[in-house]
Structure 1
């Protein structure tokens, strides 16, 4: 009930979906930029249980715990609790029903644009919600559909979770790619070896 009272007054809530396996500095930079540039009032990270296009992701509990180290942001376990394939439209509709006075913005990287028309009920996402796209290196803003908002004036995010996992398997440093808290968590839990 407290959560309903807290958010029941017309906020712009950014839902930042992804596998976050692991979360990295790029995710944090985008979230901070969206708040600073007033695209969103708050950001909720929404880790998926099972990604429709990815296999072999780390356990939900590890990914959730790593995201919790991001201070000043909320972590939403809705998709993790479903324990099945996550579809963005279902998550957006769930939160819109819970918080009808708020505006929900789905946040994705430009790497998702090429396949956006393959997303489950993508037309409903564009019709009923805002979609904000941030730049990813190697993925230009091609295939922009009407209704998608391009995050302007932010440098490309030149980092990926896959890149971090590859560096860890090669026994290389990831210090410039993620936070000290996440590095500690990865080491303590012997992830991505």
Structure 2
């Protein structure tokens, strides 16, 4: 995730409306986190203790001084019984309600969380050249797609959500490990990061991945 200085430098080079989107995003995220906490009836100190951060850190998230990592955002939204991707989509839509989607809404939501507008990604491709479609989780083993990616990389998050759908459809972790060329422990980690409710040992599952 880019630092605040890097984000400010990018915003200076962007059209005013795109810079405005990014400038509006972080306060919107902070307000939503604060609203979710209050809706659940937690004081800031109570929520911070359950999440595993200091109350000052949670305050800085809610006041939009700091941005949480994706891993920490999942912990926060899990406590508040909210879907992290759904929250990010709502916030992204709130800062650009009248704009057409450049990518799938969930991908745009993850880009905004990382401090990038969809237009910034598109602008880095030569418009005179038809871009080659990159590897997507559905077209290549996740072991290849996610190699060397950071925990908060949008593609890693998207891969985890795809694994969650397959797991909830009945696939076992071992089936997913074989299919996607990833270690058993890595599959389990990605499922946990995607806020998946894991089945207990011996729980039934379907025979297809």
State the TM-score, normalized to the length of structure 2.
0.27
Which protein has the larger Cα radius of gyration, Structure 1 or Structure 2? 2
With a CA cutoff of 8 Å and minimum separation of 6, indicate the structure with the bigger relative contact order.
1
Q: Which has the higher helix share?
A: 2
